Structure 1
Amino acid sequence: MPFAAETAMPEPFLSDMVRALAAAPHSLSPKYFYDEQGSRLFDRICELPEYYPTRCEMSVLRACAPDIARHIGCDAEIVEYGAGSLHKIRPILDALDGPARYLPIDISGEHLGASARALQEAYPEEVLVIPIVGDYTEDLALPACPPRVKRRIGFFPGSTLGNMHPAEALRFLRMLRGQLRGGALLLGVDLIKDPAILHAAYNDSQGVTAAFNLNVLARANRELGTDFDLDAYAHCAFYNAPEHRVEMHLMCRRPQEIHLDGRCFRMSQGDTLHTENSYKFTIGGLRTLASEAGFVPATVWTDPDRMFSLHWLEARG
């Protein structure tokens, strides 16, 4: 049986895809990558030799877990935003003494349910797992904290904050500040580095990232009844140095007509559907952004090569 999960409002995939095709330039939120197939592909990306972020972040989590656990303390509730396969919480759970409960939030319900069941089976006595299916970028109503919970700790790993435009990132952090008032946020962000390393990470030799990018069109065909010709689109990813971000696009190889919701949309050769930004940060820049959102920046953990960083941000009452 699938692990039971609380479900939030359904995502507005149809309206967002209509908006993306009608606008110029065309742009779609990266949250639509993560259906069941997209989630599986992303898990494969995280294992690729070129894709350093997951490997670096996990090394920091394992090395610094005892110190992170001291910051969290006992009887805390941990809310993980965009939890995915729930791998990154494990070093923290191993180091914690008596966490009250763990609330992973993700948009891919089937994937989250299976991952939550596996995690609960691995930690049957240590922590209560309550998965929540929903769009964590919206202000979800979280379950009330039981009396045992001393404070709520947010966990937002994977540099997903970098998928947001700076104004969106500020709005999102302010929202989390409200949800975590009296607690703290453990935030992972990728750091600025050699563009060659970034290019390789988003253009892997096995083509898994390309398949992940193209899957959003396959998902639209399955769920929305569009007629995207996947062979007519090419994965395109590059580092935009002035903006400090990697951009992912799907470039139209030849003129296309796409039918959706009774309308016909046209894309010309060379047009792109912009599917993701991945902003890279300096440590100082992230701390400034967190301060603007109302957090109090505290401890920072990095790997020895300073490829990736984890930030402890206090959400004081």
Structure 2
Amino acid sequence: MTDDTPRGAAPSRRTILRAGSGAAAILPVGAILPLGIPAVHAAERTVRLSYQRSSTLLTVLKARGTLDERLKPLGFAPSWHLFTSVIEPMNAGAVDLHADVADAVPIFTQSAEAPLTFYAREVGAPSAEAIIVPAESPIRTIADLRGRTVGVSRGSGCHFILAAALKNAGLTFADIKPAYLQAPEGLAAFGQGSLDAWVIWDPFLAIAQAKRPVRVLADATGLSSYHRYYLANDRFVAENPRVVAVVYDALQDAGRWVKAEPDAAVALLAPIWGDLAPDIVATVNRRRTYAVTPVVRAELGEQQAIADTFHEAKLIPRKLDATAVKIWQPAPERG
């Protein structure tokens, strides 16, 4: 069943076929459960999900009630928790399924030995994060940031973009004045002229570009693919693989819906994102791929580059094998 399937419509063949391999079977009332799938108890359990303002697909699922519908046959109901800073709740295990995060964030959580499992990846969109300055600024290159105040969110994907860009220019964090600000604080500070430069991601990047003329010194192109990763608590994944499978399927369907119905997606997201102008939301949605895929260990090489850069910059205390992480994968499609 896709996000735009009418309520009460028959389940998709894909969903039913995958039920025996860890996915949820969404069956009509009165249907016989396939062999090996236990009946669902009446009492609902809560699955706690975090999200942040950049969590487009999770926001879509929340707004449309998709997970309320799809998790009910498993005896679960979603509970939503909004965070501006995600590393602390991820390290603390504050929720079961965590907000999608930029590629750099799992390096910090892995360094903290947080019990987290990768369960999905949104294919990268390097133009969706950038280092920007006011259009009238004399700063023209990354090298010009020497001695300047640069806003960045600690532990974010932009933290890596800044570190990598500085390194390419022969600079380090010691050569600038980093101002560690959460994205909403950075937006205000940049607008007030308190920052010489700001490293930020969408939708805040698109908001800043709409508020005043800005110059992009560099986006993530050539530095990072800006994949976004979805992680869950190890124990929750081990105990509830069918819930994870349902959420994974729903994320894929939400991504397809946003791209297939861009006007409807803008109408849904604009008021949720603080009554943003439709053109800002449309810009964000054009830059992001929203293509949700399995996490493949052999494709985590870029994560290692991030880990090595952070260790060299003394942002994490020890070297990491960034590929040595737990990964959940969906069952193979069966025709």
Task: Report TM bin, short chain.
Answer: 0.3 to 0.5
Higher Cα radius of gyration: 2
Report 1 or 2 for greater relative contact order, CA contacts < 8 Å, sequence distance ≥ 6: 2
